[in-house]
Amino acid sequence: MQAVGLVVEYNPFHNGHFHHVQEAKRVTEAEVAIAVMSGQFLQRGEPALVDKWTRTKMALASGVDLVIELPYVYSTALAHNFAKGAITLLDAIGCSTFAFGSEQGSITPFLNTVELIESNRAQYDIFIQQAIKTGMSYPQALHYAYESLKLTYPNHYIDLSQPNNILGFHYIEAANALQSKMQAVTIQRIEAGYYDEVDYQKHIASATGIRKALSDGQDVSHFLPEKPYTLLCDWQAKHAKFMSWEVLWPLLKYAILRHTPEQLTAFADVQEGIENALIKHAKTSNTYTEFMMKLKSKRYTWTRLQRMLTHIYTGVTKEQLHAFDTPTYIRLLGMTENGQHYLSTYKKQIELPLISRVAAVKDAMLTLDIQATTMYAIGMQLFSPQKIDEDIKTPPIRV
């Protein structure tokens, strides 16, 4: 059985994701699709709209055969580390290919870009340093260095200002670093840009657009396959609200103000220099959005701020987060019969421990996943009765 790996968040699962799963299986001729999915907190530094088990059910109903959890350490990291965690897990579980959505849509320019940068690392770093000396920000300097390299070695490259292209680039880079045998495939994203608002003329909207529509109380049935849509409706019927930073604001505010400025800088990703602004604006803001509008600046992008806030919210320190290099386990969130068949066939060739029952395992990286799940559940309790020990109590979903 051949397996294709997908790196996903499914926040929530929509028609674009469905297209991606189907295309990935069709193009790679894989019999099994394995998704490595962010848990309760996501790469943009946000809590997921609905919890990881509900998103797992959405995936399993839509062509994915196995869902494994991307540990908190990677799911809340910058693209480089996010990709490293995800690709390492897909490689470890035996995928022969991995398929990612991109603006670019064909794989050669990705391979060219990775090759260009890897072969000219020294020159690339010189360009970056030059740019920083002129006063550019780090992202600007990366862009300058890349454009400079492209001029030196003309070829067909990707546009590295597109968010999904950036992720794809890092997936391939991570696979190379691992010397993985997995082959990279890209599926062109259709009909919706990453940040677009929903357009009811289309059947595909971005997850960002769908979340916005949901928070505005709009109907989103148009953009989700039937079963994921039902799961989303069930969640709303049960909990009345979706999870968001806005909902968590009372707790986040309390967490920020409970610390001295010095203590705040101990949390992962919190850059020295921002601690006083965090406290000052937390004191005067009644909503998360108000807080973020005050906090945002040229120096700190929205997602960078959100990642800091994620770690402050969950209480994860730099010391805790930086203790890790590579994933230490494969956590199963759910599987179809086909996925179970794959696992029982290849189990012995998988070198990382497969975890289906959390209670039995002592692992520092896993402890952070459990912690993040507890903190997510504590937030849920603000608006809906909720058990806390879900990670211990919830077995993998089987459909």
Sites of contact with a second copy (CB under 8 A) = 250-251, 253-255, 257-259, 263, 283-284, 314-315, 374-375, 378, 381-382, 388-389
* CA–CA gap between residue 29 and residue 3 (Å, rounded): 9
In the bound state with a second copy, the residue whose beta carbon lies nearer, of 156 and 322, is 322
Q: Two tokens at 264?
A: 């705040």
Q: Shortest Cβ distance from residue 319 to a second copy (Å)?
A: 11
Distances (CA, A) of 173 to 81, 107, 328: 11, 13, 20
Give Cβ neighbours of residue 238 (< 8 Å, ≥ 6 apart).
384
- Shortest approach of a second copy to residue 215 CB, angstroms? 22
Supply the minimum distance, in Å, between the C-beta of residue 325 and a second copy: 21
Min. distance of Cβ 54 from a second copy in angstroms? 21
Q: Cis peptide leading into 12, omega within 30 of 0?
A: yes
Task: Based on DSSP, count helices (H) and strands (E) in the chain, helices before strands.
Answer: 19, 8
Q: Which residues contact 319 (CB under 8 A, 6 or more apart)?
A: 266
Q: How far is the CB of 359 from a second copy (least distance, A)?
A: 13
Nearer to a second copy, 165 or 314 (CB): 314
By beta-carbon proximity to a second copy, the closer residue of 201 and 284 is 284
- Which C-beta is closer to a second copy: that of 251 or that of 352? 251
Q: What is the CA radius of gyration of the chain?
A: 21
Q: Which is nearer to a second copy, 37 or 368 (CB)?
A: 368
Give whichever of 186 and 314 is closer to a second copy, judged by the CB atom.
Answer: 314
Nearest distance, CB of residue 275 and a second copy, angstroms: 14
Q: How far is the CB of 356 from a second copy (least distance, A)?
A: 22
* 3-state SS, one letter per residue, for 242-259: CCCHHHHHHHHHHHHHCC
Q: Which residue from 122, 38, 133, 116 is spatially nearest to 81, judged by alpha carbons? A: 38
Alpha carbon separation from 185 to 96, 106, 133, 241, 263 (Å, rounded): 11, 8, 37, 37, 44
The answer to whether 49 touches 120, Cβ cutoff 8 Å, is: no
Closest by CA to 181, choosing from 98, 287, 270, is: 98
Are 306 and 370 a contacting pair, CB within 8 Å?
no
Q: Which is nearer to a second copy, 284 or 344 (CB)?
A: 284
Least Å distance between CB 313 and a second copy? 8
C-beta of 257 vs 350, nearer to a second copy: 257
Which is nearer to a second copy, 132 or 382 (by Cβ)?
Answer: 382
Beta strands in the chain (DSSP E): 3-8, 32-38, 66-70, 97-102, 183-188, 330-335, 354-355, 397-398
Query: Least distance from C-beta 255 to a second copy, angstroms?
Result: 7
